[in-house]
Structure 1
Amino acid sequence: MKTTTGLDSQYRPEWHYSAERNWLNDPNGLIYSNGTYHLFYQHNPFGDDWGNMSWGHATSADLNHWTEHPVAIPCDDQEGIFSGSAVADVHNTSGFGVGGVPPLVAIYTSAYVGTSPLAGRQAQSLAYSIDDGATWTKYAGNPVLDRASSDFRDPKVFWYDGEAGGYWVMVAVEALHREVLLYKSADLKSWEYLSTFGPANATEGIWECPDLFELPVDGDVADTRWVLVVNLSPGGIAGGSGGQYFIGTFDGVTFSSETTVTEGLQPDTSRMADYGWLDWGRDYYAAVSFSNVPDGRRLMIGWMNNWQYAASTPTDGWRSAMSLAREVGLVSRGGRPVLVQEAVDPFRDQELGQGVELFALGRQPLTPGMTWLPAEAHGDVLRIDAEFEPGPAGKVGLVLRAGMESNPAERTVLAYDSATGELSLDRTESGNVKFDATFPSVERVYVPLENGRLKLRVFVDRCSVEVFAQDGLATITDLVFPANSSNAVGLLAEGDGGTLVSLAVVR
């Protein structure tokens, strides 16, 4: 974000987007148009807690430097503006275009309030823009899809080209039923039911914020799969909010999963680790992808928080931030495709070039215990690239945002256990952890070594740690709230036999 505001400089992230003031949650309407990325999001214009849901708006040319704009689609005395998506209606199928200018169309959930004739319902509505997202007009014929349901929400819409021709597809949820519903339309106004997916895999919490998109496997455009993303809360792999994904096929009517492990409303908690998870941390939720991105890239952003404690995080005047944008893809592992993610790196953008390397180490044995890096490698906004050969050393890894002499017990520990194959992120002593009983936690994910090595890329940004392991095969995203002075970085090893292959700290 490249923060310019003075509000709460202790925890305000530098590179993760946050609204200058007030509450923020789900990313909405992510779209690329005329050289600009648009990030809309759930926003309370009037306070730093949830309520008065409206679409906030920010734009960026590079997904790292964001400019905040006035509220795009405000709530009113009839409806809250809940989550949804946006599309570039290049052929003006909706008829909203003017003078040959095709519109951007937002498809959002109208959460009707007590003064509305539809009070208590959630239905899908439209707004359109003919000035490339600067201003929006609600469609007079709203809602365009109403099931008389109180929990039908979060429409993600895309254009589908198939053998029977092209049409718009909407993917939405009946949240309490743990179902994804698919519809089709020729004009974004009239919708026809296609099919239903679910319940399946993780079903402990309500289903929200779905997404559906096609990706090549190993870069082969002749071999593709469809990825269905379903966020849920509670019931995430690390507790509370989380995002799962299914891989399969879509024929324009029905999504068929190749990765369903369990079906039905009774979750099999013993199989949780077998499901596909977008992130194994506590703070990556409501993740959805951008529409209309050039070159077929699939870029996603998630809300960096958890509904278990989102209302009580210790920030002042603002609450919550977005994750870094991530490019997602499919690669083959063990004879099947799996999702990989790579952060859009703020330390390697057009403005900053390759970033400034503060400190580097080459291959050397790891000393048992804790080894602090010199002061030039310390900081609260860093990218750390590290590669380890754990060998027989037990746990090896990194210590982040540590207090050393000023707060000797304060630290966040990222460690790999060579006995179990688990990578863990421990924030139980990360700083202010007492604002909610569910916040202190240790996140874990099984990560197989590759040729005996573990490769890590870690982004530290004041109130967060985002970990990408083995080139994005597994990710962990967690909030942390340490003291300003807790910015030391160290290496750890339980015993002899571990090797640091390489380390670079970039600012």
Structure 2
Amino acid sequence: MNTVTSSLETFRPAMHYTARDTWLNDPNGLVFHEGTYHLYYQNNPFGNVHSNMSWGHATSTDLVNWEEQPVAIPCDDTEEIFSGSIVVDHGNTSGFGTSGTAPLVAIYTSAFKPASAHPGIQAQSLAWSTDGGYSWTKYAGNPVLTRDSPEFRDPKVFRYDGPAGSYWVMAAVEAHDYAVLLYRSDNLKTWEYLSTFGPANGTGGIWECPDLFELPLDGDAGNTRWILTVNMNPGGPNGGSAGQYFVGQFDGVTFRSETTVTEGMQDDGRVADYQWLDWGRDYYAAVSFSNVPDGRRLMIGWMNNWQYANHIPTSPWRSPMSLVRDVTLTSVNGQPRLVQQPAAEYTANSAPVPAQQLQLDGTVAVDGGTAVKQIQVTFTPGTAEEYGVAVRGGEDGAATRIGIRPVSGELLVDRTNSGDTGFHDAFPSVSTAPIQPGPDGTYSLQIFVDHCSVEIFAQDGLVTLTELIFPDPSATSLALYSTGGTAAASLQLTPLA
């Protein structure tokens, strides 16, 4: 966790990772190794706006408390270090290991500068570590894969073991072609083209930061699907950056989607029909950790939006990461859907306040306790047109409203009066996501409220919605409300800081 240390750091989150005094964006190189989670990320070591892309680094043993490490792979006069991934090369296929030590191998995008031998080109390069991910050596043969393209980037590499064989697979993007390109390698140094996926579904902005992984459907290890995630900027369901996903099959060569709604450049008017990793404004570049034991799939995203990312009112740091999410796959009306839930580690040592049963017909103030908390609330519909929770409320009437509109089937977050919204015209907004009642007719929300964010997991994680907010530090009140009639609520709070 982070600690608020001064008035300049009013908004520094308690539960979400931030760099000490610099800029961060996309998570990359996520890996679990010898009991430690490694979070690498796009970082400007010299300031708090997007520039000088290097790989920052933080470590944790519990996903909750992170320790910032020195910059892992810095930019230099010839290249910036764009996004990528890290694998544990257990078999030392790369030859980078020594004395029986399996190396960590980083596969990253070299964004070559004018002073390099490849000016203006983005290509894939390697670096390796034999000390557990703290110091890195660039491969002398870089780049290992190039298309002589200015927008070929963000390699996510994993070990494929299946009917087609055993080898490394890379998923990377041609950003402006709305395409995920797949390659294979036996040694991480020499790559062979396999296939291309896309364009499909959301094509309202460039494609970035892909991921490809396998999950059991409904917990059945004998019935699996492959999930391809790809992030897009702009063109998200509520404006700006967002991430989408496809579910299908991967045979070691080709990914075939079972959930494509539109193929090619045909997404006008269909955005609400696509499968989004998060419907909020502030969850982007999400990718998963490699090498996590017990088949656990953990994802984390950058909690910001390129529409206003460089302008959010934080100092000296800028941009948080999301909570780490456990990702599973379930059937909903016969269709495979991702379920995302906050890692259980966040609340493992917290004591909830006893639940309250409330009848709503208007606004009911509740003792919200601390600013940082988990809210679990289940609504039973009555006659109301809308019901929900107003968090981080202040004496001036400011609050962030999280509501459900049962007739239209919408979950909403209204941050137009959430606090400081004037730093960018695109920030004040009302975001919506589709939501349906559970089998018993109720709506359940699990909400994590921090100093500068709300992260909402609705209907046990079938719908997620993540938004930045910048309330006055004194704005800690909580209220439940209904408009146009009645509703009932069961509310339980858990202080988290």
* TM-score bucket of the superposed structures, by smaller chain: over 0.9
2:409 aligned partner:
421
- Whether the aligned pair in 1 keeps the contact of 2:163 and 2:251 (CA below 8 Å) is no
- Whether the aligned pair in 2 keeps the contact of 1:387 and 1:503 (CA below 8 Å) is no
2:317 aligned partner:
318
1:443 aligned partner:
431
- Whether the aligned pair in 1 keeps the contact of 2:238 and 2:281 (CA below 8 Å) is yes
Q: Does 1:287 align with 2:286?
A: yes
1:292 maps to amino acid: N
Bigger Cα displacement from structure 2, 445-454 vs 293-302? 445-454
2:364 aligned partner:
371
2:374 aligned partner:
383
- Whether the aligned pair in 2 keeps the contact of 1:360 and 1:505 (CA below 8 Å) is no
- Residue 311 of structure 1 aligns to a residue whose secondary structure is helix
2:276 maps to amino acid: W
1:480 maps to amino acid: I
CA shift for structure 1 position 285? 0.1
Cα distance in structure 2, aligned partners of 1:254 and 1:233: 25
**Any idea what the Cα deviations from partners look like across 1:438-473, whole Å, max 9, x if unmatched?**
101111111110111011100011000000000000
Query: How many residues matched?
Result: 495
CA shift for structure 1 position 502? 3.7
- Residue 146 of structure 1 aligns to a residue whose secondary structure is strand
- Whether the aligned pair in 1 keeps the contact of 2:88 and 2:102 (CA below 8 Å) is yes
Alignment counterpart, residue 466 of structure 2, candidates 462, 473, 477:
477
Cα distance in structure 1, aligned partners of 2:146 and 2:374: 46
**Any idea what the Cα deviations from partners look like across 1:205-230, whole Å, max 9, x if unmatched?**
00000000000011000111000000
CA shift for structure 1 position 6? 4.3
- Whether the aligned pair in 1 keeps the contact of 2:175 and 2:208 (CA below 8 Å) is yes
Structure 1 residues 81-480: aligned runs within 5 Å: 81-268=81-268, 270-345=269-344, 347-349=346-348, 353=349, 355-357=350-352, 359-366=353-360, 368-374=361-367, 377-403=368-394, 405=395, 407-408=396-397, 410-450=398-438, 451-480=440-469
Cα distance in structure 2, aligned partners of 1:489 and 1:186: 56
1:372 maps to amino acid: A
Bigger Cα displacement from structure 2, 2-11 vs 118-127? 2-11
CA shift for structure 1 position 371? 1.1
- Whether the aligned pair in 1 keeps the contact of 2:369 and 2:495 (CA below 8 Å) is no
CA shift for structure 1 position 4? 6.7
- Residue 194 of structure 1 aligns to a residue whose secondary structure is strand
Cα distance in structure 1, aligned partners of 2:273 and 2:492: 31
CA shift for structure 1 position 117? 1.5
Cα distance in structure 2, aligned partners of 1:241 and 1:113: 26
Cα distance in structure 2, aligned partners of 1:52 and 1:301: 22
Cα distance in structure 2, aligned partners of 1:275 and 1:267: 9
CA shift for structure 1 position 485? 1.1
- Residue 109 of structure 1 aligns to a residue whose secondary structure is strand
CA shift for structure 1 position 131? 0.3
Q: Does 1:487 align with 2:476?
A: yes
Cα distance in structure 2, aligned partners of 1:393 and 1:360: 26
- Whether the aligned pair in 2 keeps the contact of 1:457 and 1:467 (CA below 8 Å) is yes
Bigger Cα displacement from structure 2, 61-70 vs 414-423? 414-423
CA shift for structure 1 position 255? 0.2
2:288 maps to amino acid: S
- Whether the aligned pair in 2 keeps the contact of 1:109 and 1:154 (CA below 8 Å) is yes
Cα distance in structure 2, aligned partners of 1:164 and 1:265: 32
Cα distance in structure 1, aligned partners of 2:263 and 2:390: 40
Cα distance in structure 2, aligned partners of 1:204 and 1:393: 36
Cα distance in structure 1, aligned partners of 2:306 and 2:356: 41
Cα distance in structure 1, aligned partners of 2:306 and 2:346: 30
Cα distance in structure 1, aligned partners of 2:364 and 2:55: 47
CA shift for structure 1 position 5? 5.1
Identity across the alignment (%)? 58
1:421 maps to amino acid: G
1:503 aligned partner:
492
Cα distance in structure 2, aligned partners of 1:114 and 1:4: 41
**Any idea what the Cα deviations from partners look like across 1:96-121, whole Å, max 9, x if unmatched?**
00111110000000000011120100
CA shift for structure 1 position 496? 3.5
Structure 2 length normalisation: TM-score? 0.98
Cα distance in structure 2, aligned partners of 1:312 and 1:328: 31
- Whether the aligned pair in 1 keeps the contact of 2:204 and 2:267 (CA below 8 Å) is yes
Cα distance in structure 2, aligned partners of 1:282 and 1:327: 20
2:40 aligned partner:
40
Structure 1 residues 3-18: aligned runs within 5 Å: 3=3, 6=6, 8-18=8-18
**Any idea what the Cα deviations from partners look like across 1:50-96, whole Å, max 9, x if unmatched?**
11100000000011100000000000000000000000000000000
2:452 maps to amino acid: C
Cα distance in structure 2, aligned partners of 1:433 and 1:163: 53
CA shift for structure 1 position 46? 0.3
CA shift for structure 1 position 201? 0.2
- Residue 25 of structure 2 aligns to a residue whose secondary structure is strand
Cα distance in structure 1, aligned partners of 2:420 and 2:182: 43
- Structure 2 unaligned residues grouped into runs of 5+: none
**Cα gap change, 1:242 to 1:502, in 2 (>3 Å):** same
2:426 maps to amino acid: T
**Any idea what the Cα deviations from partners look like across 1:224-275, whole Å, max 9, x if unmatched?**
100000000001111000000000000000000001111112422x211110
- Whether the aligned pair in 2 keeps the contact of 1:226 and 1:250 (CA below 8 Å) is yes
